[in-house]
A and B are shown apart, each in its own frame.
Chain A
Amino acid sequence: MPGAARVLYCHCAYAKIVPPEVKQQVLAGLAASDTEWDSVPDLCEMSARRDAHVATLIPRGELRIAACYPRVVRSLFQAAGWLLPPETLILNMRTEPPEQVLSGLLEEDR
């Protein structure tokens, strides 16, 4: 199990902007791992809702996020009133290959 890093995966379920094969492979890789992780259907929605559970992930230690552009992800967190630590790893499923996203999420040490 990779350290104490917490993983958050966004499925971007209501739009077709993340290639489906990327989502499929990242999801399958996370599901096959023995890590504990959180997933949301849509991070934009969670930000707009100021979802209390997502907020609890920030103070729990290192956070790794698989979603879209880092500028968007940071701003979504900020809009909800949560500040992501600068060291938060944000992996962009719109542009990065699934292997790279998975290895970033699951690698033991960064």
Chain B
Amino acid sequence: MSRLAAPILRVLLYEGPGSRTVSGEFRGALLRTLLEGGFPVSCVRSPAPVDAAANSVLLVLGDFENQPPEASARVRFHPLNGSAPAQIAEAADQVRSELGLERPGVWKPWFPVIDFARCTNCMQCLSFCLFDVYGVSSTGGIEVRNQDNCKTECPACSRVCPEVAIMFPKYRHGPINGEEINTDDVRREAMKVDISALLGGDIYSMLRDRTAKAKSRFSKERDDERALKERQNCLVKAGQAMGVPAEVLASLPSPEEIQARAEMAQARARAAIEMNNAKLGENRS
């Protein structure tokens, strides 16, 4: 099961009837500690029935006037009892651990987000990504399917998008960080979009050529270490030009695997484009 489908622990700070109000200062400190520990928190005062949302267990915190209700499979209660925020966060983590729920913060949520107001479904991102992050929806549209396959700090696919439609919210600079786009951005991205122009040849072709050249040399002079170095050198230019972190480059698969994956991704992109063109044709006729 993907880590993204795993159930999580949510926290609800209840200050309605039957639970005394805490001070604003304590509430702020508690919220900050829980959020930094990775727990989503709701602050509630109305005595509405409590239930956990799907795929989660709810931990209700409160300065309860009486004994809190019995715990159920999906709702637990924990009295504040004058504990410090750190102790309460610890108790929440203990509940999470006992129930075998997803540990927050293990995955840094870094992945592309598509601005569908700009995306034209050109499928360049699908062709480009080697890590199977993108997919095609049942309606033929591009979608981010495997967020947790994305390589942290790597924004490379956003640089091949001709419409500046791919954002990485945690990236430092605009327009990749989601800042509003101006015409200069579009012009700049349009200039960069042709990876062939950027690298003097398609990145994958470049790798293939490099591999072929390397193979002819290796037939005379086989050296795994040199082969690895060759591959890394080949990628340095791409890395520098596209802001790809060294760790991502180092984790790239072998050139042969890259070639196979790139061909597969390109085939998926072609199929999606053909499907979309066919639909367009049907609609026109």
Contact = CB atoms under 8 A, between A and B. Distances in A.
Interface of A: 11-15, 17, 24, 27-28, 30-42, 44-49, 51-53, 55-56, 68-69, 71-72, 75-76, 78-79, 94
A79 B137 CA distance: 12
B53 to A, nearest CB: 4
B44 interface: yes
A76 B37 CA distance: 22
A14 B39 contact: no
Given A15-B170, A32-B28, A75-B116, A46 B108 contact: no
Given A31-B24, A52-B55, A76-B113, A69 B177 contact: yes
Contacts of A55: 53
Interface residues of B, number: 49
B111 interface: yes
Contacts of A52: 53-56
Given A15-B170, A79-B144, A56 B109 contact: no
Contacts of A46: 40
24 contacts: A11-B35, A11-B36, A15-B170, A32-B24, A36-B45, A39-B42, A39-B43, A40-B35, A41-B35, A41-B37, A41-B40, A42-B38, A45-B109, A49-B55, A51-B8, A51-B55, A53-B53, A68-B169, A69-B180, A72-B177, A72-B178, A76-B113, A78-B116, A79-B113
Contacts of B108: 14-15
Contact of B42 (A14, A28, A38): A38
B115 A41 contact: no
Given A13-B105, A44-B169, A72-B167, A51 B28 contact: no
Contacts of B53: 51-53, 55-56
Interface in B182-215: none
B180 A71 contact: yes
Interface in B127-171: 143-144, 147-148, 167, 169-170
Contacts, number: 138
Nearest to B26: A31
A14 B35 CA distance: 10
A34 B27 CA distance: 11
B113 A75 contact: yes
A55 B41 CA distance: 15
Contacts of A30: 28, 31, 43
Contacts of A68: 169, 177-178
Given A46-B40, A79-B144, A41 B104 contact: yes
Given A44-B169, A44-B170, A75-B116, 13 more contacts: A11-B36, A14-B108, A15-B108, A17-B169, A17-B170, A30-B28, A38-B40, A41-B35, A48-B109, A49-B5, A55-B53, A69-B167, A71-B167
A44 to B, nearest CB: 4
B237 interface: no
B264 interface: no
B40 A72 contact: no
B10 interface: yes
A38 B11 CA distance: 10
A39 B31 contact: yes
